[in-house]
Amino acid sequence: MRVLSGIQPTGNLHLGNYLGAIRNWVRMQDEMDSVVADTATREPGQCFFFLADMHSITVHEGREQRIRNVRDMAAALVAAGIDPDRSVLFNQARVPAHAELCWLLNGTARIGWLNRMTQFKDKAGKDREGASVGLFVYPVLQAADILVYNATHVPVGEDQKQHLELARDIATKFNSDFGVELFTLPAPIIPKESARIMSLRDGTAKMSKSDPSDMSRINLTDDDDAIMAKVKKAKSDQEMLPETAEGLTGRPEASNLVGILATLTGRTTDAVCAEFAGKGFGAFKPALGEVLVETLRPIRERFLELRTDDAALDAILDKGAAKAAAAAEPTLRAAYDAMGLMR
């Protein structure tokens, strides 16, 4: 079993990044220790986690900022529990096989398939003619990310299911067109807990680094006092908390805050509601703040320590990239050979 997942290296990491993706990666890493990938060799399962800096070029960003973002994301992942000795951690740009296979797969992917990708329509908006080619073929690079390692499983949320299906379609067509059984068809992993963390100022909008209000998010660099202050000022409502989660319907801010506490403590929203039933947010918010502080403090301290040592972070990414490149080379070589391309 080989699991692969990537994340764009965005600056200003926040609670949504941690609960939405990073924490699940740590759990997958821990679970993989007991998984056997090959019953013949008894080799253990592997997790490949990468920073999608090649994907990030679809949005203009300064050179120094992109470099900083990659290193900060690496620091955050390690601080949160990703172990470079147990998982393969790297950034795309250090492994040229991603871009190479993407170009080869561009000959297999169909324009009609890409035209159906809803994320392109969402991100390009009304200015489709002004969007970059990179944004349009972005899903082909995603397919290459997966197929170059013959990943067997890929964690996906609702917004990524379509992209995984495209990867499977490309793999199937390539195998058929060239008469090979080269690419494994990756299966989806639906995370047991798929946390969707919303803004502290608007329960209908995702927590985001791009929100102009810093009070809308809990940053991983926020100190204890800042976290408590943001939770205290988080938008809520005047109603008491209900006995069950069903009573949160139509209360987006209340639902968000209860959901954050439930996710952090590994409980259901029903269980959290039962604990605070009949109480207001004056009693609830301090409890949420304390859990956030205790959860994020060790991650913040380790993150701030790691991000001051660029050489150490680069060494971690170099080490992971070497492992990734070695794993990708046989598949890439076989793809060239199947297509009759001489290297």
The residues with which 51 forms a beta bridge, in sequence order, are 7, 91
What is the reported pTM? 0.89
How far apart are alpha carbons 76 and 190 in whole angstroms? 23
Amino acid of residue 326? A
Helix (H, G, I), strand (E, B) or coil at 265: helix
How far apart are alpha carbons 120 and 128 in whole angstroms? 9
Angle between helices 281-306 and 252-265 (to 10 degrees): 50
3 and 151 Cβ atoms separated by less than 8 Å: yes
Superfamily of domain 214-305: Tyrosyl-Transfer RNA Synthetase (1.10.240.10)
The boundaries of every CATH 1.10.240.10 domain in the chain are 214-305
Question: What is the CATH class of 2-195+310-339?
Answer: alpha beta
The boundaries of every CATH 3.40.50.620 domain in the chain are 2-195+310-339
Q: What is the pLDDT of residues 143-202, one digit of tens each?
A: 999 999 999 999 887 777 889 999 999 999 999 999 999 999 999 987 766 578 999 999
How far apart are alpha carbons 136 and 154 in whole angstroms? 22
How far apart are alpha carbons 335 and 178 in whole angstroms? 9
Q: What is the pLDDT of residues 91-116, one digit of tens each?
A: 999 999 999 999 999 999 999 999 99
Q: Active-site positions?
A: 123, 206, 209
Neighbouring CB atoms inside 10 A of 312's CB total 15
- 80/210: higher pLDDT: 80
